[in-house]
Amino acid sequence: MNTGKPRMEIPFFHSNFSSLGAVLGVGLGLLLGSGCVAQQADLAKIQKDLEMQISKIKEEKRALGAQVDEAKSAISESQALISQQKADMAKMRSDLAPLNQQVKLLREQDLTSLYGKNEVAEKRIGDLEKSLKSLTDSLESLKNTVASQGGQLQDTQTQTTTLVQQVDESNQALTNTMTEFQGSLTQFKEALGGVSAQVTGQREDLTAQHTAMTAQDETLRTLETRSHELSQNLTELQNALEQSGTVLGGRLDEQHTRSTQLQQQITALQEKLQTDTQALKTYLEKDVQSAMTQLVREVESQQQPVQTRLDALQKDMEILGTHLQADANQVQELSQAVIKLREAQDVMGSLLGKRGDEIIQQAGRLSERMIGLETHQSDLSQQLQSNTQKTGAHLNEVTTSLKSLAQAFEQTNQSLTNRITQQEDTLKQFQQTAQQLERLQQETAGQVATMKTAADITDQLHQSVEQLSTRLHDLEIHQSGLVGKLDSDAQNTNTHLKEVNTGIQSMAQALESVSGKLNIRIDDKEQRLNRAMTSFQKVQGVVDGSQTNVNHLNQLTE
Task: Give DSSP secondary structure letters for 494-547.
Answer: HHHHHHHHHHHHHHHHHHH--STTHHHHHHHHHHHHHHHHHHHHHHHHHHHHHH
What average pLDDT does the segment 137-145 reach? 67
pLDDT at residue 66, rounded to an integer: 78
What average pLDDT does the segment 339-358 reach? 56
Q: Which domain holds residue 310?
A: 163-407
pLDDT at residue 188, rounded to an integer: 59
- Band of the pLDDT at 414, cuts 50, 70, 90? confident
What average pLDDT does the segment 204-219 reach? 61
Question: Is residue 310 in a domain?
Answer: yes
pLDDT at residue 220, rounded to an integer: 59
- Would you say residue 129 has pLDDT above 50? yes
- Would you say residue 127 has pLDDT above 70? yes
Distances 425 to 146, 159, 254 between C-alpha atoms, Å = 17, 22, 14
- Would you say residue 353 has pLDDT above 70? no
Question: Is residue 181 in a domain?
Answer: yes
Q: Angle, to 10 degrees, between the axis of helix 40-202 and the axis of helix 377-512?
A: 170
Angle, CA of 537, 540 and 543, to the nearest 5°: 155
What's the rounded Cα separation, in Å, for the pair 121 and 445? 19
What's the rounded Cα separation, in Å, for the pair 140 and 143? 5
What's the rounded Cα separation, in Å, for the pair 195 and 305? 12
Length of the chain: 558
- Band of the pLDDT at 12, cuts 50, 70, 90? very low
pTM, two decimals, is 0.23
- Would you say residue 239 has pLDDT above 60? yes
Q: How many domains are there within the chain?
A: 1
- Band of the pLDDT at 69, cuts 50, 70, 90? confident
pLDDT at residue 142, rounded to an integer: 64
Pick from 319, 320, 328, 312: nearest CA to 274: 328
What average pLDDT does the segment 70-93 reach? 72
243-268 pLDDT, tens digit each = 655 665 565 566 555 555 555 665 66
451-510 pLDDT, tens digit each = 666 557 656 656 665 666 666 666 666 656 655 665 666 576 666 666 656 665 665 565
pLDDT at residue 51, rounded to an integer: 75
Question: Is residue 464 in a domain?
Answer: no
- Band of the pLDDT at 402, cuts 50, 70, 90? low
The set of residues, in sequence order, having a beta carbon less than 8 Å from that of 427 and lying 6+ positions away, is: 258
What's the rounded Cα separation, in Å, for the pair 497 and 50? 42
- Would you say residue 420 has pLDDT above 50? yes
pLDDT at residue 333, rounded to an integer: 60
Q: CB atoms < 10 A from the CB of 262, how many? A: 23
281-309 pLDDT, tens digit each = 665 556 655 655 665 566 566 556 555 65
Pick from 551, 553, 546, 543: nearest CA to 478: 553
pLDDT at residue 76, rounded to an integer: 73
Report long-range pairs for 77-82 (Cβ below 8 Å, ≥24 apart). 77/3, 78/1, 78/500, 78/536, 78/539, 79/497, 79/500, 81/543, 82/493, 82/497, 82/539
Torsion of CA 357, 361, 363, 365, to 10 degrees: -170
pLDDT at residue 52, rounded to an integer: 82
Amino acid present at 18: S
- Band of the pLDDT at 548, cuts 50, 70, 90? confident
What average pLDDT does the segment 181-197 reach? 62
pLDDT at residue 41, rounded to an integer: 73
- Band of the pLDDT at 4, cuts 50, 70, 90? very low
- Would you say residue 191 has pLDDT above 50? yes
pLDDT at residue 54, rounded to an integer: 74
What average pLDDT does the segment 369-375 reach? 56
What's the rounded Cα separation, in Å, for the pair 216 and 486? 148
pLDDT at residue 101, rounded to an integer: 73
Pick from 355, 356, 361, 364: nearest CA to 217: 364
Residue 290: φ, ψ to 5° = -65, -40
Question: Is residue 226 in a domain?
Answer: yes
User: What DSSP state is assigned to residue 6?
Assistant: P
- Band of the pLDDT at 550, cuts 50, 70, 90? low
- Would you say residue 137 has pLDDT above 70? yes
pLDDT at residue 527, rounded to an integer: 72
What's the rounded Cα separation, in Å, for the pair 489 and 545? 10
Pick from 119, 165, 70: nearest CA to 507: 70
What's the rounded Cα separation, in Å, for the pair 203 and 208? 10
pLDDT at residue 241, rounded to an integer: 56
Lowest mean pLDDT among 65-69, 86-90, 437-441: 437-441
- Band of the pLDDT at 11, cuts 50, 70, 90? very low
Question: Is residue 558 in a domain?
Answer: no
pLDDT at residue 468, rounded to an integer: 60
Question: Is residue 15 in a domain?
Answer: no
Torsion of CA 112, 114, 119, 124, to 10 degrees: 150
Pick from 493, 478, 480, 490: nearest CA to 552: 478
Question: Is residue 97 in a domain?
Answer: no
What average pLDDT does the segment 221-245 reach? 62
- Band of the pLDDT at 80, cuts 50, 70, 90? confident
509-534 pLDDT, tens digit each = 655 555 555 566 656 666 766 675 66
The set of residues, in sequence order, having a beta carbon less than 8 Å from that of 242 and lying 6+ positions away, is: 345, 346, 349
Question: Is residue 211 in a domain?
Answer: yes
